[in-house]
Structure 1
Amino acid sequence: MTKPRVLLADDHRMVAEGLKSLLAEEFELAGIVEDGLALVKAARELNPDAIVADISMPNLTGIDALVQLKRDNPQVRVVFLTMHRNPAYARRALQIGALGFVLKHSAPAELVLAVRAALEGRTFIAPDLAAEVFRTPAKKEAGPAEALTSRQREILQLLAQGHSAKQIGAALNLSARTVEDHKYRLMETLGIENNAELIHFAIKHGLAP
């Protein structure tokens, strides 16, 4: 019987290797990648049955990678494995189509259960987080980060990681001038006057590791 193929995405190679061993009994490893852009590329090329990804990764967060993956394939099955215990992360992940949210300190069996559930089209949330995730949050106005487009979020994250406009353009297949245009529109939208404030904003709103 053919095992389901799982793609792993985590910028800590030792963690990824540990996950590989954990999942090996039930699943076939389709590949391991270490950043969000590589995840999107590998998912397109390898077409795995499920993806296990971290949220905080270089170049593109797991959340923003999932947005792109959903555009490519609405049926993509993604389980997030993360250190972030904040239920807001889990709610956002579910909102854009993740099928699982497991904490890295959880029992290993929870990840296996989450991947099984995802393959069946079901949702699995770490039990010690589920009550908070599904509690109805108080209504509040959308913050400034939610006003950004997916492309703006990508560029902001890469800028915050210290990449130049030329490097970002090469990664996203844009000209350096287009990247600069996005940057200045970002600054205007957010009411930010310099690069230091831009980086601070990205870190504060979870758009950079």
Structure 2
Amino acid sequence: MDAYTAGAVVTTSETLPRVVYADDHRMVAEGIERLLDGICELVAITQDGPGLLDSIREKRPDLILSDVNMPGGSGLDVLKTLRAEGDRTPFVFLTMHAEPALAATAMRAGANGYVLKVSAGEELLTALRHVFAGSTYVTPSLGTHYLHADTLGMQELTPKQLEVLRLVGAGMRSRHIADRLGLSVRTVEAHKYTIMQILDVHTTLELVRRAEDLGLLF
């Protein structure tokens, strides 16, 4: 497991909730570690999907805090694996992805919270309080839109995401799509990743077939 070890969280209380945290951005992780100091006991911090799954199985935390997009498998993949195994450990996403449809996908998959990194800080603590109290929490700036994303369809994707999806469906590679739309390759890949999460697929072939089934390529 390619992970870095969490700095010791000083605590003399055995009542602090034990948390496993996953984020491949070291500076973000260090900031969250400082934020949670004295509030939660971070028993592991990892940088990727496989490492997160290993840490959860080893540490048996009270709560899981995870980014969505990580190397080796997304946080969403880890959540789905846990829920399929019957593991109901509270799971909160802390992410840069502000798409209501992705928040809806995460909550339908069994997440207990969805917090944007730009809102992190006091809001993350609010989200954790809600989740520890048995409730759920979604960043208010997403509004109630995610509640209306219960059926997959064109309205869940932004116009730019639909453009990217249709060009993927036409067989174009990310570099050519980037040139066509005046975007960076990284931005195109980010759009493609988000679309795949929303449509619950893992390969480009599955993405195209799913989009065809939903009538999104016409």
Do both proteins adopt the same fold according to a TM-score greater than 0.5, normalized to the shorter chain? yes
Listed one character per residue, the Cα deviations across residues 48-107 of structure 1 (whole Å, up to 9, x for unaligned) are: 100110001000011111001212343211110100000111000000110000000014
Question: Counterparts of 2:33 and 2:91 in 1: how far apart (Å)?
Answer: 16
Matched residue SS, 1:32: strand
Distance of aligned partners of 1:138 and 1:29 in 2 relative to their CA distance in 1, 3 Å threshold = closer
Question: Counterparts of 2:95 and 2:104 in 1: how far apart (Å)?
Answer: 14
Aligned match of 1:36: 49
- Counterparts of residues 87-166 of structure 1 (less than 5 Å): 87-135=100-148, 140=153
| 1:8 and 2:21 aligned | yes
Aligned match of 1:175: none
From 72, 83, 89, the counterpart of 1:59: 72
Matched residue SS, 1:31: strand
Following TM superposition, by how much is the alpha carbon of 1:119 offset from its aligned partner in structure 2, in angstroms?
Answer: 1.9
From 49, 55, 59, the counterpart of 2:62: 49
CA contact (8 A) 2:93 2:111 kept: yes
Matched residue SS, 1:80: strand
* Structure 1 runs not aligned, ≥5 long: 142-189
- Matched length: 159
CA contact (8 A) 2:103 2:114 kept: yes
Aligned match of 1:156: none
Question: Counterparts of 1:15 and 1:71 in 2: how far apart (Å)?
Answer: 29
Listed one character per residue, the Cα deviations across residues 167-197 of structure 1 (whole Å, up to 9, x for unaligned) are: xxxxxxxxxxxxxxxxxxxxxxx998x9x9x
Aligned match of 1:182: none
Aligned match of 2:196: 205
Distance of aligned partners of 1:7 and 1:139 in 2 relative to their CA distance in 1, 3 Å threshold = closer
The letter for the 2-side match of 1:93 is A
Matched residue SS, 1:205: helix
Question: Counterparts of 2:38 and 2:20 in 1: how far apart (Å)?
Answer: 15
Aligned match of 2:32: 19
Question: Counterparts of 2:24 and 2:94 in 1: how far apart (Å)?
Answer: 12
TM-score, with normalisation over the residues of structure 1? Answer: 0.66
Question: Counterparts of 2:126 and 2:50 in 1: how far apart (Å)?
Answer: 27
Question: Counterparts of 2:122 and 2:141 in 1: how far apart (Å)?
Answer: 14
The letter for the 2-side match of 1:105 is V
Aligned match of 1:76: 89
RMSD across aligned positions (CA): 3.1
Distance of aligned partners of 1:136 and 1:84 in 2 relative to their CA distance in 1, 3 Å threshold = closer
Question: Which has the higher relative contact order, 1 or 2, with Cα contacts under 8 A spaced 6 or more apart?
Answer: 1
Matched-pair identity in %: 39
